[in-house]
Amino acid sequence: MHLKYRPKTFEELFGHSAVKKALSESKLDRPILLIGLSGIGKTTIAYILANRFGCNEEGIIHHNCFHFSGIDRVREVVNDLNRSSLFSDKKVLILDEIHGLSAQAQQELLIPLENLSENVLVIACTTTIDKVKDTLVSRFISYNLLPLTRDEIAALLKYVTTEEGIHLTKPVKSLLLKHSEGIPRRLLTGLTKIKGLDDLDEIEYILQKNILEEEGDVYEFFKALMSGLSWSIISKKLSTLLKSNTPESIRVSLVNLIGSRILYSKDRIKDEKAIICLLGTLTQNVSDYLLKSYLIAAIYSFCNGEKNEV
């Protein structure tokens, strides 16, 4: 459903009013960096901008930087930008997850970004701005995309449910809005999974599982950890995971998954391993106080609910 209702223009895009206004007035003559959470709308906005730039589908080059993080691949991409095309007068390079580029690859982009032709636009997206070199960030005009407000995400839900003919009770709607946390993709994937259901406990469980599954490969790694597989198998899975994720992003995702598992598992007493992992994590240098608060609340909830078992 999130693909079906992906906006094609700024007029169709819910929220991000300040960013939309700024980009609508932009001449699109400098590289653009979009910063925000996964599912917030960065790639959607990149494609809207490509259309506003006057670039047709054949002229859009879309790369996930975790899949080509090395310097040689970056050089190939830059060279392709400078070649004329029979299919499009203009070209737009979309660099998803630009923080996935190696330090050398990021360095390689510095000069090309300062010497783009007027027919080329580069748009980068990142969820992890602190992994992008300051010198590279300075080559872009940066825009921060924040989660939608309660009213904005509620308006999106009303629009989609009206279009789809879906009726939601007030309690179900409240749960869906709460778990979306202002992220459009999460709202729409959640709606797809719970439409037609009315058991609030079941809906709560499904929506929380939906958040966990959004972690993708990290979620699969987490399940492997919890299954008690041998370390040789776990280490292979971790090696694969590190090809497309930074160690820090894996750590943060695991912390979130463990906390969520403790809070929402249907058979919590079997999650002793999660408790152990969580306590171990809290002994490390976790500087995010909101994250600490969340984890402490998760432990309290678990222990309070299963006091006689732990």
Residue at 3 is within a domain: no
Q: List the CATH number of the domain containing 198.
A: 1.10.8.60
Residue at 5 is within a domain: no
pLDDT in tens, 276-305: 555 555 445 555 545 555 555 555 555 555
CA 59 to CA 106: how far, in whole Å?
23
Q: Are residue 156 and residue 192 in the same domain, yes or no?
A: yes
- Contact between 187 and 156 under an 8 Å Cβ cutoff? The reply is yes
What backbone phi and psi angles, to 5 degrees, belong to 272? Answer: -60, -35
Q: Are residue 113 and residue 153 in the same domain, yes or no?
A: no
- Give CA 277 to chain center in angstroms: 24
Ranked by mean pLDDT, which of 85-99, 183-197, 221-235, 243-257 comes out on top? 183-197
pLDDT in tens, 145-185: 999 999 999 999 999 999 999 999 999 999 999 888 899 99
On whether the pTM is more than 0.85, the answer is no
Q: What is the mean pLDDT of residues 58-62?
A: 91
Can you give the pLDDT at residue 273?
A: 57
**Alpha-carbon distance values, 283 to 182, 261, 274, 288, 295 (Å):** 31, 19, 14, 13, 12
Q: What is the mean pLDDT of residues 74-94?
A: 81
Can you give the pLDDT at residue 249?
A: 64
CA 302 to CA 264: how far, in whole Å?
9
pLDDT over threshold 90, residue 133: yes
- Contact between 233 and 282 under an 8 Å Cβ cutoff? The reply is no
Q: Are residue 39 and residue 96 in the same domain, yes or no?
A: yes
Beta bridge partners of 124: 33, 95
Q: What is the mean pLDDT of residues 129-142?
A: 94
Can you give the pLDDT at residue 7?
A: 94
Residue at 153 is within a domain: yes
Q: Are residue 247 and residue 294 in the same domain, yes or no?
A: yes
Residue at 56 is within a domain: yes
Percent of the chain beyond pLDDT 90? 44
Residue at 258 is within a domain: yes
pLDDT in tens, 27-55: 999 999 999 988 899 999 999 999 999 99
Structure-token pair, residue 161? 């449910």
pLDDT band, residue 255 (cuts 50/70/90): low
Last residue of some domain: 101, 126, 144? Answer: 144
165, 160, 224: which is closest to 196 by C-alpha?
165
Residues 6+ apart with CB under 8 A from 270: none
- Comparison of pLDDT for 300 and 99, the residue scoring more: 99
Q: Are residue 77 and residue 128 in the same domain, yes or no?
A: yes
Q: Are residue 122 and residue 46 in the same domain, yes or no?
A: yes
Last residue of some domain: 87, 112, 144? Answer: 144
How many domains does one find in the chain? 3
Residue at 8 is within a domain: no
Task: Identify the domain containing residue 24 by its residue range.
Answer: 17-144
Q: Are residue 113 and residue 209 in the same domain, yes or no?
A: no
What backbone phi and psi angles, to 5 degrees, belong to 122? Answer: -110, 130
Residue at 301 is within a domain: yes
Q: List the CATH number of the domain containing 33.
A: 3.40.50.300
Percent of the chain beyond pLDDT 70? 74
Sheet holding 91-96, edge to edge: 60-64, 91-96, 120-126, 32-35, 141-144
Last residue of some domain: 144, 163, 181? Answer: 144
Tell the burial category of 123 from Cβ atoms under 10 Å away from its Cβ (0-12, 13-18, 19+): buried
Q: Are residue 118 and residue 157 in the same domain, yes or no?
A: no
CA 121 to CA 129: how far, in whole Å?
20
Residue at 101 is within a domain: yes
